[in-house]
Amino acid sequence: MAQSTATVLAETVAGVSVILVAGSLLVPVLRRLRQPPVIAEIVAGIMLGPSLLGLLPGDLPTHLFPQETRLGLSSIAQVGILLFMFLIGWEADLGQIKARRTTVFSISLSAMALPFGTGVALAYWLYNDHATVGDHEVGRTAFVLFVGTAMAITAFPVLARIIQEHRLQHTRVGILALASAAMDDVVAWCMLAVVSMVAVSSDAGHLLSVVGGSLLYLAALFVVVRPLLRMLVERLTRNDVVSPRLLPVIAAGVFVSGYATHELGLDAIFGAFVFGLIMPRGSMKVLRSQVNVPFEHITTLLMPIFFITTGLSVDVTALGGTGLLELLAIVGIACFGKMAGATGAARLSGMSWRESSVIGLLMNTRGLTELIILNAGVSMGVLDNRMFTMMVLMALITTAMAGPLVPRRAYARADDELRIDDAVFEEARAK
């Protein structure tokens, strides 16, 4: 037994090295095509899986990444995902949403409502072919709601990277797209929480217990844990110096919160995200160098493992003719819903067609957030392997579109109505 465990550990470590090297080799290649690192890392995973490497004799993907090794890799990646979700919650720019609420609300809600509606309609068409996952039947309601939610996602982290690379962060287009995507992120996690409750509940009584337990946990976090966390941060921060003890305490809080939501019947990512929401923001500048930056370094190292292990589960060869038709429908409806919703709302708010179309392209970016949600769908038993493959490919295609299609030329800088002073930002974040 000890030897078997040692072998699995050794193979897992070797798998990590293969993943990191493969990702690092492909990132600069695809960067020339104006693609973010997430695209390169997903493509690397697909190439190492059954879609490409599996076409060679000898079943190389299984030899490189046996099932026990993949479980180990998933466990390592889970640490990166939970810390990443904590950072997403902590860095949520509520100030941006408050400062330009009318335009942001219209763009964000339109960019979610239309793709959600078209996604629901698509899901009704797809349901009969994907109603069985493993040995159990997926509830129609859970499947339809999940696909609709997945279609409505915008990946805020990847979008921010694309906007920065295109030097749009100080333009009206960039500011509105970022603020709208930030609001989309918050709404999307709430929607997914509802879908999770429906998916894991076998009857109305179980659903009520999951909802009740989740609401009690949220109340405990905001009413009890939040003030205690603020006191802890103040106690371990003196004269702009953060005690080294704070970092492991916060990390432990993230993991415990993730475990708690898992025990409630939801995915662990919700606990990590909400723990980020209750994290004090008033001392963000002080905490950034000794808490935020170390966590970012950890996620930078571990998230490629998540991307590539996700790609390993994608098997394009198993789609067949029917699968390709469904894939085209998924991609087409995903692009139409997001781009039409965001572009139309931006145009109605008074922006030019050119600016509105760029916002539509940016909001169509799904990337990392979509992958996390799709993996949650697999763990909830909502998606079968073929549906998972098609949705991952949809996320890959819609994210890859933004880099080449969004123009690099600078737009007019944001006007006075859209500009926010840093001091106002910090005050809004503190609230």
User: Closest Cα to residue 355, out of 113, 103, 97?
Assistant: 103
- Domain with 339, as residue range(s), is 3-430
For the whole model, what pTM was predicted? 0.77
Which uninterrupted H or E stretch holds 104? helix 101-126
- The pLDDT, as a whole number, for residue 233 is 85
> φ and ψ at 29, to 5 degrees?
-65, -50
Local structure of 20: helix, strand or coil: helix
Contact 26, 48 (CB under 8 A): no
> What CATH number has the domain bearing residue 38?
1.20.1530.20
- The residue type of 382 is V
Going by pLDDT thresholds of 50, 70 and 90, the confidence category of residue 2 is very low
**C-alpha distance from residue 98 to each of 121, 125, 157, 273, 418 (Å):** 33, 38, 20, 20, 11
pLDDT beyond 60 at 65? yes
- The pLDDT, as a whole number, for residue 422 is 39
Q: Supply the DSSP string of 268-313, one letter for each residue.
A: HHHHHHHHHHTS--TTHHHHIIIIIHHHHHHHHHHHHHHHHHHHHT
- The pLDDT, as a whole number, for residue 282 is 65
pLDDT beyond 70 at 81? yes
Q: What is the mean pLDDT of residues 372-389?
A: 86
Structural domain count, the chain:
1
- The pLDDT, as a whole number, for residue 122 is 94
DSSP strand E in 189-277: where? 237-238, 241-242
pLDDT beyond 90 at 200? no
Q: What is the mean pLDDT of residues 155-168?
A: 74
